[in-house]
Structure 1
Amino acid sequence: MARRKKLSDLSVSRRKLLVGAAAGGGLLIAWNLWPRKYASPLVARPGDETFAGWLVIGRDGIVTIAQPQLEMGQGIGTVLAQIAAVELGADWRQVAIEPVPPSGMFANLPLAGKWSYLLDGWLPDNDWSTGRFARSNAFTATAAGTSLAAYELPLREAAASARDMLTRAAADRWDVEPEQCQVAEGFVIYGEQRFAFGALVEDAVRYDPPDPAPLRPMPAFEQPIPGEAEAQGMYPRLDLPSKVDGSHLFAGDIRLPGMVYASIRHGPAGLPELLRFSERKAAGMSGLVAVVRSKRWLAAVAESWWIADRALAKMRPQFTGPGALEQDRLEAQLEEAANSSAQLAERIETMGDPDGLLGDTAIVRRFDIAPASQAPLETASATARLAGGRLELWIAAQAPEAARDAAAQAVGLSNSDVVLYPMPAGGSFDARLEKQHAIEVAQIAAEVGRPVQLTWSRAQDFQAVPPRAPVSGEIAAAIGAEGQPVAWRARIVSPSWMREAGHRLFRNNVPEAAQRESAGLADPLVVEGAVPPYNIPHVAVEHVPAKISLPTGRMRGGAQGYTCFFTECLVDELARAAGRDPFLYRMAMLGTAPRLAEALRRATRLGEWDGAQPGSGEGVAVARMRLGEEAAGHIACVAHLMRGEGGIKVRQLSAVVDIGRIVNLDIARQQIEGGLLYGMGLALGRPLGFESGHPVPRTFGGMGLPGLADTPDMRIDFVESDADPFDPGELGVVVAAPAIANALFALTGERSYRLPLVP
């Protein structure tokens, strides 16, 4: 993923910089020479002015906020704009957002720190070098709930700086002290006099920015609304009107003069390389423009996508490789690793002395997690135009600079010769961390010499995006005198899927190469969340790196999508064995986690908990997610199941959430509700399998996802808190499956140790 930067008259790539730096200080000198300031790609129109690279204020009073994160349905543009608007004192009716291309100015430092171990061997092991890497590589990736942590303070500082400059401009006109002025609703106010922002920008931009920026005492926040009460939000979503009326443009909506359309076929799992196809069978098709072949795929280009896809069907491409993946082989590979787990396990975390307590009397349970597809509503789509040595790329990407780098390399250009237009995504769930379609569309555009739009079919999206890995978990617990665990060991058997994703993302490896480079290496993010949130003094967490034939990657919720399932299902079973109410059993172990205990207490009240008696269909689960040392999110969920036509039906999900200070209550609620439904689909949908290398099912309809008729009644409540804000997007995902599994046991008396729960 080498990219070029200009350093005076010397062009030097990051890889050459790191490899060529001399020992004994050369690397430090090289890093010190690297540029420290990065230009903002946010450009003002004539007459408008830019403030701190984050805001543009126009003469018409419109305030435009830079949006460096991918909008994929989570509402991040609105949340970031709200942070800036509150700090600035803007009128929400005059606030707009503008997605910006990647820039070192907008580097996502918390995510770079979280993923820094993926750069082993590239960087010195310290925060300074990680930050420098993130900035010099315009690492603005959107993932793992890091947007608030990354961008709230920079946005507040930029808005506070602009507010101060506007205030000084107005104060000088009135010949008063700036401290005598107020800023609110898009005006600078002194007594009965006021100036709109637009009337001040020309003067304000001439003032020196304050250092430090004068932040308001209270950042953006909204009070939670108790229970089921309804209230109009103060900051409605900025993207909602265009999404409702259909004018919102996604990656697949781009239209360029002379544009053609491409469909593509990738090899099945285990057969990655194109072997043969019959081009003559598509010869003469009306509207067919070109056939483009690569080592790993075949594409048809036509006047419409439908014609291109029909041409591929006629040509019947065949692929070759080590051998097509079959489901029984995949299961055997994971089972082989599980059988060798005691020998291959690598200790990731230890608390106390668990090994001395986990003897022959320990309770041991085996859990199995099937692979799962991210399945966003919008499949991978990108548009490219290559002309005059410049490539333009319209794409929805969670890691846009990596996509731009990969596209540039694919057609032999430097990174500076590629213009990336960031587009919103119709969902992602981390599927758009992958950048394969950026490479493909660039190569196709170079081959046909016309603007081209590539769209993957649903089957190809399932085929080409690495799914969540299959996982086996062996959880052992030693029980004390009061029936509660005193020692705990989580031994997780899984491929090192985050290391794989890192090799694809940072080093531009093909999936098979990423697997080889990751083989046998323990991966801390594969076991994230495996330490229970309860007061258990002796804990061990181990990873057994499994070698399987399936490329794998990250999915919404990360490892906690399964580690929470392991923990909460076994804790529920231990409560039953001790003859205790599962709610009270958990509460007795949450003395060191008061925020989670409060969420659990309130959730059982909200969900009308009645002890989960046999046949009740009532279950509970809790989850805690952390980001660094400060921010944390807590959720407790009560699920109610019933028997219905066609099987088990989730009747109600009641959740209480503590995400610290709430920036936008409506969006937080939407994220929790959406996460619960996503987790419900993972719990009750059909498992992903493989036949002759092809994923099964290959359609939305075949996945058994919940529809409108299956959507349960949802009761969501939030805890008022002044703690650091936490992104709520993944909390609902991780807690839904164990709550439903525990409710299923209460309903049927049978406990499932597998996900999905229903075959």
Structure 2
Amino acid sequence: MTEEKKSGRRRFILGGLGVAGALIVGWGFMPPRQRLHGAHDLPVDQNEIALNGWIKIAKDGMVTVALHKSEMGQGIHTALQMLVAEELDVAMSQIKTMAAPIDKIYGNVAMLADGLPFHPDDNGTIKHIAQWMTSKTARELGLQVTGGSSSVKDAWLPMREAGAAARAMLVAAAAKEWSVPVGECLTENGVVLHSSGKKLSYGELAAKAVESQPGLVSLKDPKNFRIIGRPQARTDTTAKVNGTAQFGIDAHPEGMVYAALKLSPTIGGKIKRIDAKSALAMANVLNVIDLSKSLDDRSVSGVAVVAKSYWEARKAIGAVVVDWDAGVHSQLSSETVFKELAQKLDAEAGFTYYQQGDAEAMLVSKAATKTISAEYRAPFLAHATMEPMNCTAQFKNGQLELWVSTQVPSIAVDVAAKLARISAEKVHLNMCFLGGGFGRRLEVDMVLQAVAIAMQTNGLPVKLIWSREEDMAHDMYRPAAMARFNAALDDKGNVVAYQNKSASGSVTHQVLQRTFGVPGAGPDKTTAEGEFDMPYQFANQKISHVIVPTPVPLGYWRSVGHSHNAFFKESFIDELAHAAGKTPVSLRRELLSNNRRHLVVLDAAMNKAGQAPEGRAHGIALHRSFGSIVAQVAEVSVQNGQIRVHKVVCVVDCGIAVNPNIITQQMESAIVFGLSAALHGEITIKEGKVTQSNFHDYAVLRMNETPQIEVEIIKSAEPPEGIGEPGVPPIAPAVANAVFALTGQRLRSLPLKLA
């Protein structure tokens, strides 16, 4: 690594220390925290024995696994059961599940470690030290988070180790019972076997296994996997089909009342006066609550109405008259946002995330016989989950109970306890299925609001439900972003300089302040991910980013910065190929000569796609995010001036494919999600207000627009990587590149619209 690159990396680490960095330094020298046994034993009934913090076994042999990740349609509960079933040697049908309690052993380590801003090709000492210290810090924090496509990656070792350790304890107990060596015992489908014909079920052995000394515990060699790597049916499907699955909005504790909201129509607006007389006079209306008096500035200012039914609450909230102070952002618009991004790109150098050679000098050198410049932009986007924001809360006798769909159960408990002024031990969380997350349920605003309301309902449980209109207008949006590229080619069509500078707000800065009260400072890797950590090899390159603070609330949106940075980068690579007189695939192959895994994925996608039919064109995009490499080929036509995507070929290398069925489903889901944004998605702001209100003006992909999707998974022996988000980033540039191949129009703004 050059001294310049080392220097930049040190500046990032030092510049981003702040409070989190101080914790890393402080905790970095503490002993590693194990992830097998929690601070408290798993709760059991009289027929169950807990063998560790993840697994308990009943007398009938049924295994219960504690699941620490949120199920939001991505199939993670099935994948986690597979990890335990493989190492414990039980059939999937022998497993039941429970929500993991709040405990540090379930904290997400992989997500925080992956958040460091290192280039994939960087294997230096600084990187290894930073990852080691960050992983130790993550264990101490113990944040239970489902996000960053990290669930399987994070659980890969601890849940397999839990299964292997439990199996070893059971085998040791059987060996002791039979007075035989442990090595003579085998396991199969929940039974310990001996060559003599003796056998004991796990249920019969569980009580004795707790007292056994298993000795060295080893994990299976992947070549011996019987469950991992083979398609498995999702274990949550039946409950979701027959209606027994409990989503947050399904909670219905005895005596429950309902709450509806009216939030400030302008960003940063405040309440001046409330007239609730008409609402309070309506039948079955119990209360009108000024939330601005109950919450701090982490919540949008607003009013809640509590009534005996949701429809009555909705009618009553419409009758509440609020005089609003529009605030200092009343003239904010999408135009002013992009104007500021452009101004900052003009005026500021930004933070350099990666630099090699001297791109600036090469751009004006004699070798640069042709230069190419381009500017790209992407709008704010809403999460628009099918299940709108909701939370049910009951505050009674100094105890708080929550029923909520959340990606951050430990954080939800902590913030709820703080608001209620009780200890976290007095908060009971009922984890529910999520009717969509996409990062929106990493936020806890709906939890804080529900708790604030519940503290004024005299012990009655209250279910807060946001309307779709409030949900759309008060999201935590994907940032609006702008990127500029400058590149130079020599007389042989080789890229001799590559420069990329982008600008956007910082999601991480806002989330730290909003959720933890910690001021965001320094660089934010998510702003430039997908740009600085790309696989293409340019001898002279510089990738930087300018953070432009914004009053618009920002949040993590499925694939975060990759979602728009892949569009910027992969579209410009296509522009470079055209300028060099090369095909988009041939240029990529040249730039990937030292990245075999990327080349395999690229070639597989092209081979699978074949030739585009007459009247249609193919566009290619290749992108690595969350550890996985995805190539997509979009087959596109133009019909009546509209872009029509007929087919998408998707090839993914995600390491070991734990459940190929779920991986295929996730790629299909991501393509549909990404196409919705690519063709339709846009949140616009005018006079400080979000102009969209529902799906009529914030469209998602319709059935008749959905393309045929073919997915191929590259076989790999590498550890599993992320899968929930990597299918999103390549689809927009693949479509845009196909449009250029078909029409000659270069589309540099999202959503994609033909001139």
| CA distance in 1: counterparts of 2:408 and 2:81, whole angstroms | 21
Q: Paired residue for 2:160?
A: 156
CA shift at 1:699, angstroms? 0.9
Change (3 A) 1:723 1:446: same
Q: Paired residue for 1:484?
A: 494
Which amino acid in structure 1 is aligned with residue 243 of structure 2? G
Q: Paired residue for 1:352?
A: 357
Q: Paired residue for 1:83?
A: 83
Instruction: Pick the aligned partner of 1:572 from 574, 580, 583.
Output: 574
Instruction: Pick the aligned partner of 1:252 from 249, 253, 263.
Output: 249
| CA distance in 2: counterparts of 1:278 and 1:493, whole angstroms | 43
| CA distance in 1: counterparts of 2:537 and 2:28, whole angstroms | 47
TM-score by length of 2: 0.88
User: SS at the partner of 1:281?
Assistant: helix
| CA distance in 2: counterparts of 1:201 and 1:535, whole angstroms | 55
Q: Paired residue for 2:303?
A: 298
Change (3 A) 1:224 1:342: farther
Does residue 39 (structure 1) correspond to residue 39 (structure 2)? The answer is: yes
Contact 1:603–1:655 under 8 Å retained in 2: yes
Instruction: Pick the aligned partner of 2:671 from 656, 669, 676.
Output: 676
Does residue 199 (structure 1) correspond to residue 204 (structure 2)? The answer is: yes
Unaligned runs of 5+ in 2: 1-17, 118-128, 293-300
1:500-579 counterparts in 2 under 5 A?
500-507=510-517, 517-518=519-520, 521-531=522-532, 532-579=534-581
Q: Paired residue for 1:120?
A: none
Contact 1:221–1:661 under 8 Å retained in 2: no
Instruction: Pick the aligned partner of 1:263 from 254, 260, 265.
Output: 260
1:626-645 counterparts in 2 under 5 A?
626=626, 632-644=627-639
Change (3 A) 1:480 1:99: farther
1:610-656 CA distance string (max 9 Å, x none):
5x99x533211111125xxxxx3111111011234682211000011
User: SS at the partner of 2:576?
Assistant: helix
Does residue 319 (structure 1) correspond to residue 324 (structure 2)? The answer is: yes
Change (3 A) 1:744 1:224: farther
| CA distance in 1: counterparts of 2:283 and 2:223, whole angstroms | 60
Change (3 A) 1:552 1:172: same
| CA distance in 2: counterparts of 1:442 and 1:616, whole angstroms | 54
CA shift at 1:112, angstroms? 2.7
Contact 1:334–1:547 under 8 Å retained in 2: no
Change (3 A) 1:41 1:310: farther
User: SS at the partner of 1:703?
Assistant: coil
| CA distance in 1: counterparts of 2:34 and 2:217, whole angstroms | 24
1:425-455 CA distance string (max 9 Å, x none):
1111000111011111111011112111111
Q: Paired residue for 1:454?
A: 464
Contact 2:89–2:187 under 8 Å retained in 1: yes
Aligned-pair identity in percent equals 29
Which amino acid in structure 2 is aligned with residue 112 of structure 1? L
Does residue 743 (structure 1) correspond to residue 738 (structure 2)? The answer is: yes
Contact 1:275–1:318 under 8 Å retained in 2: yes
Which amino acid in structure 1 is aligned with residue 358 of structure 2? D
Q: Paired residue for 1:729?
A: 724
Paired positions, count:
706
Does residue 174 (structure 1) correspond to residue 168 (structure 2)? The answer is: no
Q: Paired residue for 2:124?
A: none
Contact 1:619–1:744 under 8 Å retained in 2: yes
Instruction: Pick the aligned partner of 1:274 from 256, 271, 275.
Output: 271
CA shift at 1:135, angstroms? 3.9
Change (3 A) 1:137 1:391: farther
Change (3 A) 1:460 1:116: farther
Contact 1:271–1:319 under 8 Å retained in 2: no
Residues 689-698 or 729-738, more deviating: 689-698
Instruction: Pick the aligned partner of 1:435 from 441, 444, 447.
Output: 444
User: SS at the partner of 1:672?
Assistant: helix
Change (3 A) 1:460 1:105: same
Contact 2:192–2:202 under 8 Å retained in 1: yes
Unaligned runs of 5+ in 1: 1-17, 118-124, 226-232, 510-516, 627-631
CA shift at 1:555, angstroms? 0.6
| CA distance in 1: counterparts of 2:225 and 2:644, whole angstroms | 36
Q: Paired residue for 1:9?
A: none
Contact 1:221–1:662 under 8 Å retained in 2: no
Contact 2:512–2:520 under 8 Å retained in 1: no
Q: Paired residue for 1:367?
A: 376
Change (3 A) 1:237 1:468: same
Q: Paired residue for 1:620?
A: 620
Q: Paired residue for 1:405?
A: 414
1:335-346 counterparts in 2 under 5 A?
335-344=339-348, 345-346=350-351
Q: Paired residue for 1:702?
A: 697
| CA distance in 1: counterparts of 2:334 and 2:288, whole angstroms | 34
User: SS at the partner of 2:428?
Assistant: strand
| CA distance in 1: counterparts of 2:712 and 2:132, whole angstroms | 39
Change (3 A) 1:753 1:29: closer
Does residue 663 (structure 1) correspond to residue 658 (structure 2)? The answer is: yes
Contact 2:381–2:681 under 8 Å retained in 1: no
Which amino acid in structure 1 is aligned with residue 205 of structure 2? L
**RMSD over aligned Cα, in angstroms?**
2.8
| CA distance in 1: counterparts of 2:28 and 2:651, whole angstroms | 51
Q: Paired residue for 1:5?
A: none
| CA distance in 1: counterparts of 2:673 and 2:41, whole angstroms | 35
Contact 2:85–2:227 under 8 Å retained in 1: no
Does residue 497 (structure 1) correspond to residue 507 (structure 2)? The answer is: yes
Does residue 414 (structure 1) correspond to residue 415 (structure 2)? The answer is: no
Q: Paired residue for 1:237?
A: 234
Which amino acid in structure 1 is aligned with residue 248 of structure 2? A
1:255-303 CA distance string (max 9 Å, x none):
1111101111221343432222220121321121111112122000111
| CA distance in 1: counterparts of 2:609 and 2:228, whole angstroms | 18
CA shift at 1:251, angstroms? 0.6
CA shift at 1:755, angstroms? 0.9
CA shift at 1:660, angstroms? 1.0
Contact 2:38–2:53 under 8 Å retained in 1: no
Contact 2:372–2:576 under 8 Å retained in 1: no
| CA distance in 1: counterparts of 2:313 and 2:463, whole angstroms | 11
Change (3 A) 1:609 1:128: same
Contact 2:268–2:551 under 8 Å retained in 1: no
Does residue 470 (structure 1) correspond to residue 480 (structure 2)? The answer is: yes
| CA distance in 2: counterparts of 1:402 and 1:148, whole angstroms | 21
Change (3 A) 1:575 1:126: closer
1:216-235 counterparts in 2 under 5 A?
216-218=220-222, 234-235=231-232
